[in-house]
């Protein structure tokens, strides 16, 4: 299993770097901002906690990312009507426009890196396997 770990981690790093380079070149948008923007656009209402859970990163890290995205004019925070202690994050029109353009580059790069290498059925099976492994890991991490 160490060889599987090595291949999986190296592949993730190489894929991240390739997609990041493509998004920066095409849209001047780093992958580290693109990912939370995707979550913000999918979830309504969206809180920092929601992004942290979906991306499996810390709330503090997400808060800093959202600060940067907001400073660039691609999202805004407004008071959460259901919990005054938190904010709801939503994309701005400029953020939606940027995300649409970035999605085209993102999907194209994935098609080049993944879709040209293996069949759609293999990718679907690989995705299902990763989902199972992540679920097992979450169960292993949760107190019983």
Element (H, E) at 94: helix 93-110
pTM of the entire structure? 0.89
State the average pLDDT for the chain: 95
Residue 144 has pLDDT above 70, yes or no: no
Structure confidence at residue 64 (pLDDT): 96
Beta bridge partners, 76, equal 90
Structure confidence at residue 6 (pLDDT): 96
Tokens 């994050």, located at residue: 89
Q: What percent of the chain has pLDDT over 70?
A: 99
């Amino acid at each position: 299993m160490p060889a599987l770990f090595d291949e999986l981690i190296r592949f993730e790093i190489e894929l991240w770097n390739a997609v990041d380079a493509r998004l920066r070149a095409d849209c001047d948008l780093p992958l580290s901002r693109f990912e939370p923007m995707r979550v913000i656009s999918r979830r309504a209402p969206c809180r920092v906690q929601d992004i942290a859970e979906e991306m499996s990163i810390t709330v503090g890290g997400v808060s800093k990312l959202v600060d940067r995205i907001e400073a660039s004019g691609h999202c805004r925070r407004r008071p959460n009507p259901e919990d005054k202690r938190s904010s709801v994050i939503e994309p701005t029109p400029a953020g939606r426009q940027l995300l649409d353009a970035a999605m085209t580059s993102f999907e194209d790069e994935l098609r080049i890196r993944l879709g040209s290498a293996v069949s759609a059925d293999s990718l679907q099976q690989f995705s299902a396997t990763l989902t199972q492994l992540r679920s097992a890991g979450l169960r292993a991490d949760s107190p019983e």
